[in-house]
Amino acid sequence: MTNSLISIVAISPIQDYLQTLIARFSGLSEGEVADYIPELKLANPDWFGICIATQDGHIYEVGDSQQHFTIQSVSKPLTYGRALEQHGEAAVLKKIGIEPSGDAFNAISLHPTSGTPLNPLINAGAIAACSLIPGDSMQEKSAVILETFSRYAGRALDIDHTVYQSESDTGHRNRAIGWMLRNFSVIECDPTATLEAYFQQCAIRVTCRDLAIMGATLANGGLNPITGKRAIPEKYVANVLSVMATCGMYDASGEWLYDTGMPAKSGVGGGIMAVLPGRLGIAVFSPRLDQQGNSVRGLATCQALADDLELHMFGASQPAIPAIRRATSRKSVKSNLRRTQAANDYLLRVGKKLRVYQLHGALTFASIEPVARTMADESAQTEVFIVNLRLVHRIDRASVNILAELRRDLIGTGKLLFFTESGNFWQPLIDAGVDREAFFADDDFALECGENHLLGDRFPNLAWGSETPLEKCDLLLELNPDELALMDRLLFYRNYLKGQNIITAGQASNELFVLTKGSAMVSMATQDGIARFDAFSSGAAFGEVAFLDRSPRSANVTALSPVTCRILTREAFDQLDTLAPAIKIHLLSNLAGRLTTMLRHNGRELASLK
């Protein structure tokens, strides 16, 4: 069964990555399916599911993530949390300790001096916690537990009665533990109802997806991120996560915490639920267990996740500030390349297809994951993605891989993704497989490239190298053939070599230029090299501002290719007053149109900065 969220988001580097984990670890066939509860033997040893639920409720899931199995010991921290909610910390601590035991999970032992179970995650502590759940009968206690777990999972869970029966029929050892607790007055009445409720608690049916959401609920301070409903008061979340961190993985808890750095709990049904506080719930399900009772593939998968995504809690953790500082589209930002009115109008119309993301801060799995998700969501409407890295000060390995994978996915569907101002981060991105063509010194050139992609061959006159006829040039739009013929005579030709200055700063402004072939740019030297302030392609007019207000030229304009210009001198412009006033009105109106477009664009760009 596929999840609906996933079918909408077709592009997901994280989903792809989880899929690679399935491929990587499905070969692991060591370990045995638990058989001490006869019914558990029936599990298919090859079931394998992985699910990540983010603290804001997004799900990534692969493999048998929707296969039902029994929660078993993963239930223990949740029941402990419910007991804390019911009686408060002090009362619960009197009954159940918080020290790792080093004993088997089902040891018939209590703390030698306090006479209480060592911690809530071995059976003695878990049965004691179950006794603290409100209700006198199995049914009453079970109902409270089921209701609590359902709030964690965000759906109504149920009990696998066959597993419950099988467990109850064979649970003599747990009964012994129950009566021992009764003997030491940890349980103060007949323990039978508690024991049966405990067997039912272990037999609650969940999926890997449920466990991930339960984990995400703990990661989210006790609030289920999907339903928005509270599963446990926030003040007890730390208690629950602490015992998971120290005692959650049977006798491999120390090694687990050392390696993965996440509180977790596993169960003999093959499930593992891990929590990265404030960020994620992670669940893996695969029934083959190692000597300690932990899922073999589950351990390998969690270890890989912790390494690859750098999830270790005690590693260089960074606050998860959202990595997108600003996202804009071609509707409000444009390249400095001056294009013809027609091309500009077109680009403005399709502007949403080009998006620029300004990222900032430290990029870690937690901060890049929502970025990848946003970009994947937007990929249905977007053709060109520009990711600006100027304000990013750290990128970890997980983020580098996610960005590289995202680019591969997008390119695979015919889209473009460019990185700009990547500073020192280009090398790790290249190492992760991003090719050199993806990098631009600044947004301007990336925008130009993206705009060219959007324009495609719709405006063939604009191709570098071909000559634009006068009637297609911005300045001369709307002129009739006679008027065009007159202008053809008035505008003289001047050719430039590539690299030659067409305009030099400080010169008098007696000419207005119409670029009919090639391209040119207005530039200034900055500390990072040459910055382009404006650039023109064939069909554009330039030099109009100083021409109109008669001020000296303020910057250099350089030919970027062999260039042909048609030049309107001030003399010829003045002659039009008497020679052809209608033409002059057209020219002025075209120039005014050009200037208002620029003003409007600057307004939009300024607004997008706010």
Residues identified as active-site: 73, 76, 198, 250, 268
- Cβ proximity to ligand GLU: between 70 and 317 the closer is 70
Which residue, 173 or 235, is less far from ligand GLU as judged by CB?
A: 173
Q: Cα 93 vs. chain centroid, distance in angstroms?
A: 40
DSSP output for 341-381 = HHHHHHHHHTGGGEEEEEEEEEE-HHHHHHHHHHHHHHTTT
Express the helix, strand and coil content of the chain in percent, nearest 5 each: 45, 20, 35
Given the DSSP bridges, would you call strands 204-206 and 264-266 parallel, antiparallel or unpaired? unpaired
Q: How far is the CB of 245 from ligand GLU (least distance, A)?
A: 17
Compute the least distance from the CB of residue 38 to ligand GLU, in Å: 12
Q: Which is nearer to ligand GLU, 186 or 268 (CB)?
A: 268
CB nearer to ligand GLU: pick between 54 and 73: 73
The C-alpha atoms of residue 515 and residue 341 are separated, in whole angstroms, by 14
CB closer to ligand GLU out of 191 and 267 = 267
Concatenated DSSP letters of 319-345:
----SEEEEEETTT---SEE--HHHHH
Q: Which residues bind ligand GLU (CB under 6 A)?
A: 72-73, 105-106, 123, 167, 174, 202, 267-268, 293
Locate 491 and state its tokens: 């505008």
For residue 452, the number of C-alpha atoms closer than 13 Å in the C-beta half-sphere is 12
One-letter amino acid at 238 equals A
Question: At its nearest, how many Å lie between ligand GLU and the CB of residue 177?
Answer: 9
| The pair of three-digit structure tokens given for residue 70, joined into one six-digit string | 């029994």
51, 60 Cβ separation under 8 angstroms: yes
Give the 3-state secondary structure of 236-292: HHHHHHHHHHHHCCHHHHHHHHHHHCCCEEECCCCEEEEEECCCEEEEEECCEECCC
Q: How far is the CB of 39 from ligand GLU (least distance, A)?
A: 11
Of the pair 170, 569, the CB lying nearest ligand GLU is at 170
Minimum CB separation from ligand GLU for residue 70, in Å?
8
End-to-end CA distance of the chain: 45
Beta carbon of residue 257, minimum distance to ligand GLU (angstroms, whole number): 18
Give min distance, CB of 123 to ligand GLU, in A: 5
Measured from the CB atom, is 171 or 281 closer to ligand GLU? 171
| Parallel, antiparallel or unpaired: strands 288-289 and 32-33 | antiparallel
Phi, psi of 291 (to 5 degrees): -55, -35
Size (the chain), residues: 610
